Amino acid sequence: MLLAIDVGNTNSVFALYDGADWVAQWRISTDAARTADDYAVWFKQLCEMHGMEFDKISGCIVSTVVPQAIFNFRNFAKRYLKVEAMFVGEPNTDLGVPIRISRPEQAGADRLVNAVGAHKAYEGALIVIDSGTATTFDIVGPDGGFEGGIISPGINLSMRALHDAAAQLPRIAIQKPERVIGGDTLGAMQSGVFWGYVGLIDGLVRRIKDEYGKPMRVVATGGVASLFEGSSDTIDIYDFDLTIRGLLEIYTRNASSK
């Protein structure tokens, strides 16, 4: 089995692929101080709970936007899985797609993995929206090339900032309000957060398409993307396994070349 790990700023996803399908997927909060031993205890228990054999894992690929976590993930794979983890972004890992930005080394591993996964699944030019700690809009050319994009604060981050900076505004859950015009403080905040982000998404997608000048499809992924299903006018496809499929594609490409 292959273990694919996507390490985000807020959560990390561990997904197992048995050669035919994704058989399990778990999340844990990201903590750069968490040790290889911590990951091993947590992950082994989950495998056993789901009837999976820990020692059947023969490969591991990691995408991380938290550089401080690399050491512990590398140790986790080496000491407990008995494999050398493949890391997206390292010089010896071939993504198989061109990176067409002025500073390629600054492109986040998660954004590159999404580009690979999107190009594998869908034809033509694409806008990939990933809703996480940040909301990213990435442009994928018809040949799979990463052509840049937009980074904006994520919906949870904006909501937290609103609560932290305003003494009288409570912390609220993200949900679609029944009315756009809020009748009280809670309704006003929910509308501002939810419809404000729908407006952000639709407005930026339209501007990207105008600037790009060619037909593009819009693919949404990430932990909170499902909130906007049925509300956004511009998102064509919701694909919540896009990142782990991108990791599988990169791992397969590099494993077959060795």
Task: Please provide residue 150's backbone torsions phi and psi, each rounded to the nearest 5 degrees.
Answer: -135, 140
Helix axes 109-121, 242-256, angle to 10 degrees: 90
Is residue 156 within 8 Å of 149, Cβ to Cβ?
A: no
C-alpha pair distances (Å), 176 with each of 139, 186, 190, 191, 197: 28, 12, 7, 7, 11
Helix axes 185-212, 155-165, angle to 10 degrees: 140
Q: What is the DSSP letter of 80?
A: I
Active site residues: 110
What letters, b where the CB count within 10 A reaches 16 and e where it falls short, cover 191-222? bbbbeebbebbbebbeebbeeeeeebbbbbbb
Residue with tokens 């996480």: 132
